[in-house]
């Protein structure tokens, strides 16, 4: 599996604060890479660097072996799609139009003829087809998130960069989004997902990169990286990693003291 | 941008209050303001024929400064005295107008003579071509022209459509009426427009008459009228000089005030406004020029008090709009602090005549001299 | 394959889901174009020198070389049409289109439906430039001098407003309005200074500036404004698609291949150009750029490919109608057209603020 996107020795500092310090990450085609870490670890910054938005103070970012800074904006848009946490829209476009915006980089190319089909497929995949004629501001937070995901899918990129895409979604849609991401990866794309939910990361990622204080603390398959010791250390909170009974899926749960558990009805609190 | 001609004597009278009146947001107020501003449109021109006393028949006072109380200057005999009776113009007439434009007039059967003073229309009538005049401006109020259609329906703004509707064959104007673009539109429409000098004073009365006459193809009659007027003016100035105090220290200190009560607009007319030449000709001292006042500018209380005029000259309608002499003293306390205010020495004269400087110049000077020096024989306001 | 989502087969053909809004688009253009033609002919004929519509059309055709239709009966009817009315109608079209398009562009660039060149003070900046020329008597570019200084003035204020009100690619409404208040205040002070410095005639011209009027329009002025407005609208049409993407936010638009900085600069220049063309000869006419794009959005949605040309058409219609009222409402008077558009646009602005507030859930 080839490396499609890589960050080499990336360092980003804002004044006296160093956000990323010597980070090496490579993203392979056909893989889902989960980027995890505590608040302030630099995950969004790293994603921004990988997307080509932020220019690192030191280090390189290469997309398809080319320096990302040297790639023209429209060419870049055809190779990678980015889904941000913020899903604002200044004007009340209907959902279909918002998703169709994802096709913008393909205007003037042969792929333009596929626009309708691709948009339709994206709408269906993200389960927003029934909202196609609704205007964006009338949607709920989760629906807006799914619409934005559909937009990213419509872009048909080789690389998908997703920043906490599941934050506003319910269980069903969380699963659906990650399933789709994994399917895209299997079809040859490279996917990077920033996640807070470690169990989710363990379930769907081929590789997990743990970021803390701007440094990579772990890089490898979930079962190797997501250990109780490492996770507890990185998140500064006791965490238990165990296997789901009856399968080999990893479950990551914080350790909670009995005093903090909710009291069942009729029982005395201790 | 609208091409505006810089004219020595800018537009006076109506202009400031029209601009301020139009600023009022509500259409109702605007209509009211327009109705008020348009008051002049219904001018009947009655003032000129009231028959004031002639200077020759009046008894001048020994010390004009001691006179108290207001006076009105009324022209003794304002009737037209044309030098000819419907003369035949020699056409085509090609002239170079005051702006250097060469204009050829081929037809003088439908004439429009427009300016803010009303002087050019008066000249046309005195040349004997009155029957060919098809419209008038707001300042032309004498009986012969009073019934003709008005082409400045809102104050002193030219209306291109009104002019076109009258189908004139020649337009004579100076730059005192605007917007200038309307004049250019008339040229665009193919009507010859001759621009004459916009300066008004006792020094160029003849020149103005000659310019108008040449443009209309009646140079002979023009020369006759010009010489007659110049002679009248010279004689009148000499006559007044005999009556007025000769020593500078004794001369009346006079200032010309322009007022429109509705909008609280008060202007002082100074150097180059025509008021200076007027005051000079009646043997007074123009205090505005003395304190360095250029043109027409909003009044400055301290400037007025410093000038210490003995007499204040005003237009009749303007004085009326601020509530007469009492109203003036109330609204402008600065006036009350002048000798003129103390003695209530306000002299008013018909708006359409006082600064017109046309063929009626001598009559206007006569009336003013009576009001200034021999007011007992004149009608008081 | 995912078990819970619908099977990922392509949906039914898109034409089945065409929303009602898109069906309104052709109707909107046809309606606006028809209104424009009718109003133009009516407006050309109405006024003190009245020319019946048939003669208006006849005059047009005759000048085009076709001997069809009646010529104006009044001897000066033709002259009135061609020296007074037609230039004025043409100017109203151009200025209305310029103002509305400028408004649409401004709203697209700022991502805010309340942006309008007048509200944020761009027009008054252009007016300061133009009035400075009047008072200082500059003529370094002949008949183009005023338009050129209006353009520079407008450009400077646009840059100022833009630089002050932007934050991370978003413009907060409050900052935008406050910046507009500040710029209008400063421009007002500059205009007051120019008023003080000018003589009586110049003063009147400045006052006229602040009210807006199409009185006295002549063909040479139309000839100056027309290419400016044409270039401005053509440029706006070209950037229309990219403005849609800007609605996603600066970063997301960039991710879709839009060079946001360059787009912004181009739009700023276009807005300054359009505003200069509108203000140069006619003074400040506010709210057209606010009202028209908003109404178009309400009718056919916010897509700029339709919004821009529809706004241009709508603005032309609106200003033509307003000018007709200005000329004919009070007999013999020419009401300041800026006053009329403010009378309508002001209350509309209030309503728009409340509506935006409600739907955005607060100031955003």
Domain boundaries, chain A: 91-156
Local confidence band at B21 (pLDDT 50, 70, 90 cut-offs): very low
pTM for this structure? 0.81
Asked if A14 reaches chain C (Cβ–Cβ under 8 Å), the answer is: no
- Answer whether C6 sits within 8 Å of A73, measured CB to CB: no
* B4: nearest CB among C205, C217, C343: C205
pLDDT at B17: 35
Tell which residue, C244, C263, C234, C236, has the closest CA to residue C304: C244
Superfamily of domain B52-78+234-377: Nitrogenase molybdenum iron protein domain (3.40.50.1980)
Which span out of A43-52, B266-275, C136-145 was modeled with the highest average pLDDT?
Answer: A43-52
> For chain B, what is the mean pLDDT?
82
Q: What is the DSSP string of A25-37?
A: EEEETT-EEEEE-
- Answer whether A90 sits within 8 Å of C13, measured CB to CB: no
- Answer whether C76 sits within 8 Å of B189, measured CB to CB: yes
Which span out of B106-115, B329-338, B369-378, C75-84 was modeled with the highest average pLDDT?
Answer: B106-115
pLDDT over 90, % of chain A: 83
State the burial class of residue A75 (Cβ atoms within 10 Å of its Cβ: 0-12, 13-18, 19+).
middle
- Answer whether B181 sits within 8 Å of C80, measured CB to CB: no
Residues B301-339 have pLDDT tens digits of 887 888 889 999 999 988 988 888 998 888 888 888 899
Which span out of B241-255, B366-380, C313-327 was modeled with the highest average pLDDT?
Answer: C313-327
Residue bearing the bigger pLDDT, C223 or C74 = C223
Asked if C6 reaches chain A (Cβ–Cβ under 8 Å), the answer is: yes
Q: Which residues, listed in sequence order, are joined to residue B170 by a DSSP beta bridge?
A: B111
* C255: nearest CB among A81, A107, A133: A81
B47 and B74 Cβ atoms separated by less than 8 Å: yes
pLDDT at B377: 53
- Answer whether B30 sits within 8 Å of C76, measured CB to CB: no
Give the whole-angstrom CA distance, residue B142 versus residue C293. Answer: 55
pLDDT at B378: 43
> For chain C, what is the mean pLDDT?
84
* B160: nearest CB among C84, C134, C329: C84
A83 and C248 Cβ atoms separated by less than 8 Å: no
Residue ranges covered by each domain of chain B: 52-78+234-377
**Considering only CB atoms, which chain C residues are within 8 Å of A74?**
257
Residues C334-340 have a mean pLDDT of: 86
Residues B40-90 have pLDDT tens digits of 333 333 334 457 788 888 888 888 888 888 999 988 888 889 999 999 999
Whats the size of chain B, residue-wise?
A: 381
Residues A247-256 have a mean pLDDT of: 92
pLDDT at C140: 85
The 10 Å Cβ neighbour count of residue B72 is 22
Tell which residue, B303, B247, B283, B302, has the closest CA to residue B373: B283
Residues B117-159 have pLDDT tens digits of 889 999 999 999 999 999 999 889 889 999 999 998 877 788 8
Residues A125-183 have pLDDT tens digits of 999 999 999 999 899 999 999 999 999 999 999 999 999 999 989 999 999 999 999 99
Among the ranges given (A20-24, B48-52, B355-359), the one the predictor scored with the smallest mean pLDDT? B48-52
DSSP state of A261: S
Q: Give the minimum alpha-carbon distance from A262 to chain C in angstroms, rounded to a whole number.
A: 32
B73 and B354 Cβ atoms separated by less than 8 Å: yes
pLDDT at A1: 66
Residues B95-128 have pLDDT tens digits of 999 999 999 999 999 999 999 888 999 999 999 9
DSSP state of C71: P
Instruction: Tell whether the model's pLDDT for residue C8 goes beyond 70.
Output: no
**Considering only CB atoms, which chain C residues are within 8 Å of A93?**
244, 247, 301-303
Q: Which two tokens stand for residue C49?
A: 């020198």
Sequence-distant (6+) residues with CB within 8 A of B208 are B119, B120, B123, B196, B197, B200, B357, B358
Instruction: Tell whether the model's pLDDT for residue C41 goes beyond 50.
Output: yes
Helices marked H in B244-360? 275-281, 287-290, 301-307, 316-321, 324-331, 333-336, 339-343, 351-354
* A101: nearest CB among C12, C17, C244: C244
Say whether the A–C interface has 3 or more Cβ pairs within 8 Å.
yes
Asked if A171 reaches chain C (Cβ–Cβ under 8 Å), the answer is: no
Helices marked H in chain A? 43-51, 73-79, 95-100, 115-125, 141-154, 171-186, 198-204, 222-225, 228-235
Give the whole-angstrom CA distance, residue A192 versus residue A190. Answer: 7
Can you list the domains of chain C with their CATH numbers? 28-354 (1.10.3470.10)
B370 and B377 Cβ atoms separated by less than 8 Å: yes
Task: Compute the half-sphere exposure of residue B85: CA atoms within 13 Å on the CB side of its CA.
Answer: 0
Asked if C140 reaches chain B (Cβ–Cβ under 8 Å), the answer is: no
Q: Is the dihedral of CA C327, C331, C332, C337 positive or negative?
A: negative
Asked if C348 reaches chain B (Cβ–Cβ under 8 Å), the answer is: no
Residues B261-265 have a mean pLDDT of: 62
pLDDT at C20: 67
Residues C292-318 have a mean pLDDT of: 93
pLDDT at C172: 66
Asked if C328 reaches chain B (Cβ–Cβ under 8 Å), the answer is: no
Give the whole-angstrom CA distance, residue B96 versus residue B215. Answer: 9
């Amino acid at each position: 599996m080839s490396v499609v996107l890589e960050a080499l020795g990336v360092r980003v500092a804002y004044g006296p604060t160093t956000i990323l310090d010597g980070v090496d990450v490579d993203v392979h085609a056909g893989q889902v890479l989960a980027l995890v870490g505590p608040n302030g670890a630099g995950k969004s910054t790293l994603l921004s660097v990988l997307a080509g938005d932020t220019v690192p103070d030191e280090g390189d970012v290469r997309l398809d072996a080319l320096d990302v800074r040297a790639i023209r904006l429209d060419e870049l848009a055809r190779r990678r799609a980015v889904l941000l946490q913020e899903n604002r829209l200044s004007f009340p476009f209907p959902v279909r139009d918002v998703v169709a915006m994802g096709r913008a980089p393909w205007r003037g190319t042969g792929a333009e003829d596929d626009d309708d089909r691709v948009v339709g497929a994206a709408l269906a995949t993200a389960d927003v087809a029934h909202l196609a004629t609704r205007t964006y501001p009338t949607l709920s937070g989760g629906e807006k998130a799914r619409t934005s995901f559909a937009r990213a899918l419509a872009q048909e990129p080789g690389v998908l960069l997703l920043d906490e895409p599941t934050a506003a979604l319910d269980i069903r849609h969380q699963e659906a989004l990650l399933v789709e991401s994994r399917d895209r990866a299997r079809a040859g794309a490279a996917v990077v997902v920033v996640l807070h939910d470690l169990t989710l990361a363990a379930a769907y990622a081929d590789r997990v990169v743990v970021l803390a204080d701007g440094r990579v603390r772990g890089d490898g398959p979930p079962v190797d990286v997501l250990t109780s010791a490492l996770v507890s250390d990185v998140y500064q909170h006791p965490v238990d990693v165990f296997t789901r009974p009856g399968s080999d899926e990893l479950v990551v749960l914080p350790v909670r003291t009995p005093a903090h558990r909710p009291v069942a009805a009729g029982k005395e609190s201790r | 941008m609208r091409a505006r001609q810089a004219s020595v004597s800018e537009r006076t009278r109506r202009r400031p209050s029209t601009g301020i009146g139009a600023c009022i947001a509500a259409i109702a107020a605007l209509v009211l303001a327009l109705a008020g501003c348009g008051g002049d449109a219904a001018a009947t021109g009655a003032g000129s024929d009231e028959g004031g006393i002639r200077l020759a028949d009046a008894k001048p006072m020994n010390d004009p400064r001691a006179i108290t109380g207001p006076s009105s200057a009324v022209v003794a005999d304002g009737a037209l005295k044309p030098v000819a009776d419907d003369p035949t113009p020699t056409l085509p007439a090609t002239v170079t107008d005051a702006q250097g434009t060469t204009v050829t007039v081929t037809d003088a059967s439908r004439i429009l003579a427009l300016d803010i003073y009303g002087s050019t229309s008066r000249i046309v009538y005195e040349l004997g071509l009155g029957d060919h005049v098809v419209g008038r401006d707001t300042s032309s109020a004498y009986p012969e022209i009073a019934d003709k259609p008005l082409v400045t329906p809102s104050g002193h703004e030219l209306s291109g459509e009104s002019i076109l509707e009258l189908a004139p064959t020649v337009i004579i104007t100076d730059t005192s009426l605007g917007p200038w673009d309307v004049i250019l539109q008339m040229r665009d429409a193919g009507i010859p427009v001759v621009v004459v000098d916009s300066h008004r004073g006792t020094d160029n009365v003849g020149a103005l008459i000659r310019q108008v006459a040449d443009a209309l193809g009646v140079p002979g009659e023009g020369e006759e009228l010009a010489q007659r007027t110049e002679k009248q003016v010279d004689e009148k100035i000499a006559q007044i000089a005999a009556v007025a105090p000769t020593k500078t220290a004794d001369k009346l200190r006079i200032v010309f005030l322009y007022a429109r009560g509705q909008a609280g607009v008060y202007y002082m007319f100074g150097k180059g406004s025509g008021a200076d030449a007027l005051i000079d000709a009646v043997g007074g001292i123009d205090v505005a020029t003395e304190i360095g006042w250029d043109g027409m500018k909003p009044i400055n209380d301290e400037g007025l008090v410093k000038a210490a005029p003995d007499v204040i000259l005003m237009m009749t309608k303007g004085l009326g709009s601020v509530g007469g002499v009492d109203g003036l003293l109330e609204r402008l306390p600065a006036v009350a602090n002048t000798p003129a205010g103390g003695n209530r020495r306000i002299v008013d004269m018909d708006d359409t005549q006082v600064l017109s400087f046309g063929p009626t110049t001598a009559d206007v000077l006569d009336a003013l001299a009576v009001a200034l020096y021999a007011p007992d024989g004149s009608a008081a306001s | 394959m995912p078990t819970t989502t619908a099977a990922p087969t392509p949906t039914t053909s898109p034409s089945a889901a065409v929303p009602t809004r898109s069906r309104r688009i052709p109707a909107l253009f046809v309606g606006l174009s028809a209104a424009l033609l009718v109003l133009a002919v009516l407006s050309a004929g109405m006024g003190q020198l009245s020319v019946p519509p048939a003669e208006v059309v006849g005059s047009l055709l005759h000048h085009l070389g076709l001997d069809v239709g009646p010529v104006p009966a009044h001897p000066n009817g033709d002259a009135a049409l061609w020296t007074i009315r037609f230039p004025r109608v043409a100017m109203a079209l151009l200025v209305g289109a310029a103002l509305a398009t400028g408004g649409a562009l401004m709203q697209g660039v700022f991502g805010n439906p309340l942006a309008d060149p007048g509200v944020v003070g761009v027009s008054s900046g252009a007016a300061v430039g133009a009035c400075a020329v009047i008072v200082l008597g500059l003529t370094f570019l002949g008949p183009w001098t005023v338009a050129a200084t209006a353009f520079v003035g407008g450009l400077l204020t646009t840059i100022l407003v833009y630089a002050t009100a932007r934050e991370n690619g978003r413009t907060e409404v409050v900052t935008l309005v406050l910046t507009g208040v500040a710029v209008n205040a400063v421009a007002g002070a500059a205009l007051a200074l120019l008023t003080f410095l000018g003589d009586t005639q110049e003063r009147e011209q400045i006052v006229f500036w602040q009210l807006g009027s199409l009185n006295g329009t002549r063909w040479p002025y139309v000839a100056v404004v027309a290419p400016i407005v044409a270039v401005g609208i053509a440029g706006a049409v070209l950037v229309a698609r990219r403005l849609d993407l800007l609605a996603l936010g600066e970063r997301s638009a960039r991710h879709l291949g839009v060079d946001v900085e360059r787009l912004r600069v181009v739009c700023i220049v276009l807005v300054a150009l359009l505003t200069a063309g509108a203000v140069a000869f006619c003074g400040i006419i506010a709210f057209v750029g606010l009202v028209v794009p908003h109404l178009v959005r309400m009718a056919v949605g916010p897509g700029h490919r339709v919004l821009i040309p529809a706004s241009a058409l709508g603005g032309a219609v609106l200003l033509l109608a307003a000018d007709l009222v200005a000329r004919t409402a009070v007999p013999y008077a020419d009401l300041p057209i800026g006053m009329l558009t403010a009378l309508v646009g002001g209350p509309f602005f209030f309503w728009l603020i409340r509506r935006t507030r409600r739907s955005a859930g607060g100031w955003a």
